[in-house]
Amino acid sequence: MKKLGLVGGIGPESTLDYYKGIIDGYRKRTGGDDYPVMVIDSLNLTEMYNLASKKDWKPFTDILVESTTRLVAAGAELAAMAANTAHIVFDEVKKRSPLPLVSIIEETCHYALSKKCKRVVIFGTAFTMSSGLYTEAFARYGMEAFVPTGKDQKTIHNIIFPHLQEGIVIPEEKKAVLEIARRMISDKRADALVLGCTELPLLIREGDLELPLLDTTQIHIQKIVELISA
């Protein structure tokens, strides 16, 4: 068993999902009575959001690197960042981190390939959707990825912040997001919707749409469990 370090708090609701998901996944995978050992360094979501809003990526990156430093001091052997938006600076954090990092982006691409996806729609925060984070990664694997227009990006982003980050799901907001999804899926002839924000699974669930959902949180958790139980 490897000791996991989790960069959490960005946001708190998804950190809870990671914590429970890793425990459940580990126990299911190992089939024993043990629990995985992990440490969580919980960051200030408001501070990180403000930096991302200003695209002030250097201090944003510095905070993430400092988090991995605290995790290794606590005995962690590998780490993961429990947020999609944080992966905008993944390469720089990885270079400076004292711990190996598990990428949610790369694991999602691998999973999509295993499901024979060719064209996907990406939903996430405006930071993630506008950054090219997923579209560029999917292109490297020979798949096409599409993000909403600026107006639709704003609609989705303003539902994630503040409501989904607080664990609040409003039916009218869910309806608005599903309308955007159905329109894009039809226009782009997509074969999957990527939930590229760790809070989106609170809003969009299997059965809401007539195509597969790629839940990046669960994909990430699955790979983390595989690595810590090896």
Same domain, 41 and 115: no
* Pairing mode, strands 119-123 and 144-146: parallel
Same domain, 121 and 25: no
What pLDDT score does 93 carry?
98
Same domain, 98 and 186: no
Same domain, 76 and 24: yes
Same domain, 109 and 172: yes
Same domain, 111 and 209: yes
pLDDT tens across the length of the chain (230 residues):
999 999 999 989 899 999 999 999 999 999 989 999 999 999 999 999 999 999 999 999 999 999 999 999 999 999 999 999 999 999 999 999 999 999 999 999 999 999 999 999 999 999 999 999 999 999 999 999 999 999 999 999 999 998 998 889 999 999 999 999 999 999 999 999 999 998 899 999 999 999 999 999 999 999 999 999 98
Same domain, 113 and 176: yes
How many helices (H) and strands (E) in the chain?
A: 10, 8
What pLDDT score does 230 carry?
84
Same domain, 123 and 168: yes
What pLDDT score does 144 carry?
98
Same domain, 97 and 139: no
Domain count of the chain? 2
Cβ neighbours for 45, distance < 8 A, ≥ 6 positions apart = 9, 10, 11, 12, 165
CA distances to 163, 195, 206 from 211, in Å: 25, 13, 9
Closest by CA position to 31, among listed 163, 225, 208:
225
Same domain, 134 and 204: yes
- Altogether, the residues listed in the chain come to a count of 230
Quote the domain boundaries for residue 97. 4-103+218-228
Same domain, 119 and 208: yes
What pLDDT score does 151 carry?
96
Cα angle 111, 222, 137 (rounded to 5 degrees) comes to: 35
Closest by CA position to 8, among listed 69, 102, 79:
79
| Domain CATH for 175 | 3.40.50.1860
- Residue with the two structure tokens 């990046």: 216
